[in-house]
Every structure is written in C-alpha cells, then in structure tokens.
Amino acid sequence: MSEQSGTEAAARVTDVLLAFLQGPRSLGVSALARELDLSKAVVHRILQTLVQRGLLTADPATREYHLGPAAAALGARALRESDLRKVAMPLLRELQQATGETTTISALVPGGRVYLDQVESIREIKMTVEVGRRFPLHAGSSSTCILAFLGPEQQDAVLQGRLEATTARTITDHDLLRERLTQVRLAGVAQSDGERQAGAGSVAAPVFGVDGAVHGAVSVCGPADRVGPVARERFVPLVVEAADRISRGMGWRGGLPTSGGRP
C-alpha cells in the first residue's frame, strides 16, 4: 500500500468514526455511505474493523451500529486529560455561582465543536447539554463565537457549506451569518435566543490558546424566560472575564477579544 492510499484509508476510517459524534446514536451502512459519499462495501469493511476493535458495536436486530466500549474509554480519557477542561472547570463553577445558570466549556473539533463539560444550575428547571456530541459552528452562541474568531480559510469552509436549521431561529442565510459574525467579533461575545435549541437563551465568549488561535468557548445558558436579553447583557462581563482567565490559563497573553478583529 502506498503512503497516499494509506493516508486515504486512515481518513475514511476516521470519517466513519467521527460520524457518530453527531446525529442519531445508531447508524447503518446505507446512511453512512450516503453521508460520507463512500461505497457500501467500503463502509461495511470499515465498520467490521471498528467492531472488532471495540470502537463500535453492531445491533443484529436493527443492523445498525453505535459507539462501543473502546470509544467510550477513549472519550473518557480524553476528557480527563483535556487541558482546556482542567483549566476551565474551576472558572465554570465560579461562573455558575455568579449567574445561577448552567455553564459550559466547548472545544473546537474537526467539523464543529463539542461540549467538554458543564456545571449545571441548581434550579429545578434548568438547561443541560450533551457532552461529547459534535455540533455545527453556525448555530448557537458557543458555536458562532468560535466561528467568528476562526481564521479566514476555516471560516469560509463553514460559510460556503450548507447551513442546516436546527430550530426556526437558526440563521441559514450565508450573508446574514457573515454579518452576525462581524457583530460577534466587534462585541467579543455571541448571544443566542433559541438558535440551536428552542426555548434556550445563552451567551458565550471565545477561549484562545498559547498560539493565539481560538480553541473553544465558555457559555452561560438557561431557559429563555430567565436568560433573555436583559439577563444576557448582565452576564456578558462575567462570561468575558471567565473566558479571558481560561485563555490565560491556556497560555494566551493577548488582550480581551473586544477590539473587533481576530487576535
């Protein structure tokens, strides 16, 4: 096998595995083949290999596959060893106490972003997030504040793709989304009113690494009737401060992201 064909084979295996980070918990051969534009035969061989390694589990009744114990172990270890999560958690606890709402930390990953962890609100009615699931970068406050501070090539790759609606308030017009991202860069934060999840309000700020690149986002989220425009504006300085402290814990030495441009 040539080096190029080996790289392509590895990329296909990786793409199949990453497909389980979003959408349904279980996927079949046909659905994966359509999503990844691969033949069913290729997808089937990859799935069998991943099952043998414990990364996927097959359901004989439905003929679908879902993440297996080895994938769960890898994910758990990745979370434990994530520098971003380690730095963020004390700040998330402080932010939750200051706001009374659920606080989250997200990380940029290929094809979107994932929640690394959360500190849930102690209120009876509250927001919770799905840790480890990949979400697109065009919907919601954590996603759009990451997207706004990405480099031009990465940002354009998202803006030139299909913008699927996750709720009736998701921005799916490319020009409107570009305007939104400009506003986010100017403000240094992103706010959402049901863009990714109906009935939810949130505000998020980007987190930068030692290289000056955006690595993720910190957010406060809750039911829209509590986390409306007035509450979000009250949370903005708290979220920005938490994001800055997390960024500095990650080695970032720049200023707060409120100057209207990328760091």
Looking at 16, 41, 72, the residue that finishes a domain is: 72
Which residue shows structure tokens 């998202």? 158
Q: Is residue 260 part of a domain?
A: no
Q: What is residue 261's predicted lDDT score, i.e. its pLDDT? A: 38
Whether 68 and 89 share a structural domain: no
Whether 117 and 158 share a structural domain: yes
Q: Is residue 262 part of a domain?
A: no
Q: Is residue 45 part of a domain?
A: yes
Which of these, 90, 218, 195, 220, lies nearest to 145 by C-alpha position? 218
Whether 37 and 117 share a structural domain: no
Whether 107 and 48 share a structural domain: no
Whether 139 and 194 share a structural domain: yes
3-state class of 232 per DSSP?
helix
CATH number for the domain harbouring residue 128: 3.30.450.40
Total residue count of the chain as it appears in this document:
263
**Tokens read off for 76:** 């758990």
Q: Is residue 263 part of a domain?
A: no
CATH number for the domain harbouring residue 52: 1.10.10.10
Whether 122 and 201 share a structural domain: yes
Whether 164 and 223 share a structural domain: yes
Looking at 32, 49, 72, the residue that finishes a domain is: 72
Looking at 72, 90, 115, the residue that finishes a domain is: 72
Which residue shows structure tokens 């993720």? 216
> What's the sign of the alpha-carbon dihedral 107, 15, 63, 162?
positive
Whether 181 and 238 share a structural domain: yes
* C-alpha span between 11 and 15 (Å, rounded): 6
Per-position pLDDT tens, the chain of length 263: 455 567 888 888 888 888 887 666 788 899 888 888 899 999 999 999 999 998 899 988 888 998 888 887 777 777 666 789 999 999 999 999 999 999 999 999 888 999 999 999 999 999 999 888 889 999 999 999 999 999 999 999 899 888 999 999 999 999 999 999 999 999 999 999 999 999 999 999 999 998 899 999 999 999 999 999 999 999 999 999 999 999 999 998 876 544 333 44
Whether 120 and 236 share a structural domain: yes
Q: Is residue 198 part of a domain?
A: yes
Whether 43 and 118 share a structural domain: no
Q: Which contacts qualify for 117-121: CB closer than 8 Å, 24 or more apart?
A: 117/79, 117/85, 117/88, 117/89, 117/92, 118/92, 119/89, 119/92, 119/93, 119/95, 120/96, 121/96, 121/222
Q: What is residue 259's predicted lDDT score, i.e. its pLDDT? A: 36
Whether 159 and 135 share a structural domain: yes
Q: Is residue 139 part of a domain?
A: yes
For 201, the enclosing helix (H) or strand (E) is strand 200-208
- Number of domains within the chain: 2
Q: What is residue 258's predicted lDDT score, i.e. its pLDDT? A: 41
Where in the sequence is the domain holding 197, given as residue range(s)? Answer: 82-249
Q: Is residue 102 part of a domain?
A: yes
Whether 233 and 136 share a structural domain: yes
What is the reported pTM? 0.75
Q: Which contacts qualify for 173-182: CB closer than 8 Å, 24 or more apart?
A: 177/138, 180/144, 181/144, 181/147, 181/148, 181/155, 182/148
> In 10 A of CB 60, how many CB atoms?
6
Q: Is residue 259 part of a domain?
A: no
